[in-house]
Amino acid sequence: MLMNNEKKKLIALLKAEEVIKFGKFTLASGKESDYYVNMKMAITNPKILKQVAKIVASQIIDDKIDKIAGPALGAVPIATSISLESSIPMLMIRKAKKGYGTAKLIEGELVEGDSVVVVEDVTTTGGSLIKAIKAIEENGGIVKKAIVIVDRAEGAVENLKKEGINLEPLISINDFQ
């Protein structure tokens, strides 16, 4: 993967903030891993969010995108920062419909036929990203691509490709090893 200066800056920021730690870790899935990606540390850091927004906004500038979507919780600050940088409205995708008020799964205005980019903080197999993409498609949106800050390189790119979606990682875990 050819790496430009903006991506090198992002990697330097992630390293400086110790977002990726190496050692022995048990993941939420129960699986053992030699590293841990603490994206909550990244998505609460304005320097990292600003750098991510700058990179993603430049990647989508020519794509005629109507909305930036982020699944709750981790991708909402990412979608917000990209929305601010690009002036493209954003959507928030809930994990489940709320049982009160409007009972919406998607917050923000998704218009039938809108071209959408879905962003995520970290992917492993891509399961939660696929769920978010299906929610957008079921509500009339057209997902043009998905972008993730860090791909753990454990099948997400391939799994999304099977669903007809191009996943573009800003960084792969392999960039840190």
Q: Where are the domains of the chain?
A: 5-176
Q: Is the predicted pLDDT of residue 58 greater than 70, yes or no?
A: yes
122 is in an annotated binding site: yes
Q: How far apart are CA 85 and CA 56, in angstroms?
A: 9
Does 123 appear as a known binding residue? yes
| The CATH number of the domain covering residues in 5-176 | 3.40.50.2020
| Chain centroid offset of residue 11 CA | 16
Does the annotation list 128 as a binding residue?
Answer: yes
Q: Is there a binding annotation on residue 44?
A: no
Out of 28-32, 78-82, 104-108, 139-143, least confident range: 28-32
8-22, 97-111, 159-173: lowest mean pLDDT where? 97-111
pTM (two decimals):
0.91
